[in-house]
Amino acid sequence: MYFKQFLDEHCGCASYLIASRQSHDAAIVDPALAIDQYEPILEERAFRLRYLIDTHVHADHVSGARALAARHGAEVCLHESAAVRYPFRPLRDGEELPLGQLRLRVLHTPGHRPELISILIINPPRSPEPSMVLTGDSLLVGDVGRPDFGGGDPEAQFDSVQRLLGLPDWVAVFPGHFEGPCGKGMCGRPSTTIGFERRFSPMLVLAKDAFVSALTNGVPARPLNMTAIEATNRGTADLPWAMLTSAPHVEAVGIEALPLRDPETLLLDVREPDEYLHGHVPGAVNLPQADLASRLHELPRDRRLLLICEYGMRSLRAAQFLRQMGYERVATVAGGTAAWRAAGRPLTTGELPLKPPQIMETRWSHAGAASH
Ligand SMILES: [Fe+2]
In this prediction, residue 202 has a pLDDT band, given cuts at 50, 70 and 90, of: very high
How far does the centroid of ligand 1 lie from the alpha carbon of residue 251, in Å? 31
How far does the centroid of ligand 1 lie from the alpha carbon of residue 333, in Å? 29
How far does the centroid of ligand 1 lie from the alpha carbon of residue 16, in Å? 15
How far does the centroid of ligand 1 lie from the alpha carbon of residue 30, in Å? 10
Choose among 142, 202, 192, 199: nearest CA to 171. 192
How far does the centroid of ligand 1 lie from the alpha carbon of residue 31, in Å? 13
Predicted model pTM: 0.91
Give the per-residue pLDDT at 234.
97
Distance CA 47, CA 22 (A): 10
Give the per-residue pLDDT at 358.
61
Give the per-residue pLDDT at 364.
40
How far does the centroid of ligand 1 lie from the alpha carbon of residue 145, in Å? 7
What number is the average pLDDT over the span 277-299?
94
Is residue 309 part of the annotated active site? The answer reads yes
| Partners of 306 in the β-ladder | 267, 331
In this prediction, residue 360 has a pLDDT band, given cuts at 50, 70 and 90, of: low
Let me know: does 321 contact 309? Beta carbons within 8 Å: no
Give the per-residue pLDDT at 372.
28
How far does the centroid of ligand 1 lie from the alpha carbon of residue 14, in Å? 11
How far does the centroid of ligand 1 lie from the alpha carbon of residue 351, in Å? 34
In this prediction, residue 352 has a pLDDT band, given cuts at 50, 70 and 90, of: low
* Neighbouring residues of 341: CB distance < 8 A, sequence distance ≥ 6: 279, 347
Let me know: does 368 contact 179? Beta carbons within 8 Å: yes
Given a cut of 50, is residue 348 above it in pLDDT?
yes
Choose among 230, 224, 122, 116: nearest CA to 175. 116
Give the per-residue pLDDT at 175.
97
Distance CA 308, CA 268 (A): 6
pLDDT digits (tens, 9 = 90+) for 49-76: 999 999 999 998 999 999 999 999 999 9
What number is the average pLDDT over the span 294-308?
94
How far does the centroid of ligand 1 lie from the alpha carbon of residue 74, in Å? 23
Distance CA 71, CA 258 (A): 50
What number is the average pLDDT over the span 221-250?
93
Give the per-residue pLDDT at 83.
96
What number is the average pLDDT over the span 237-260?
94
Choose among 16, 4, 5, 21: nearest CA to 100. 21
Given a cut of 50, is residue 252 above it in pLDDT?
yes
Distance CA 244, CA 225 (A): 9
pLDDT digits (tens, 9 = 90+) for 150-163: 678 999 999 999 99
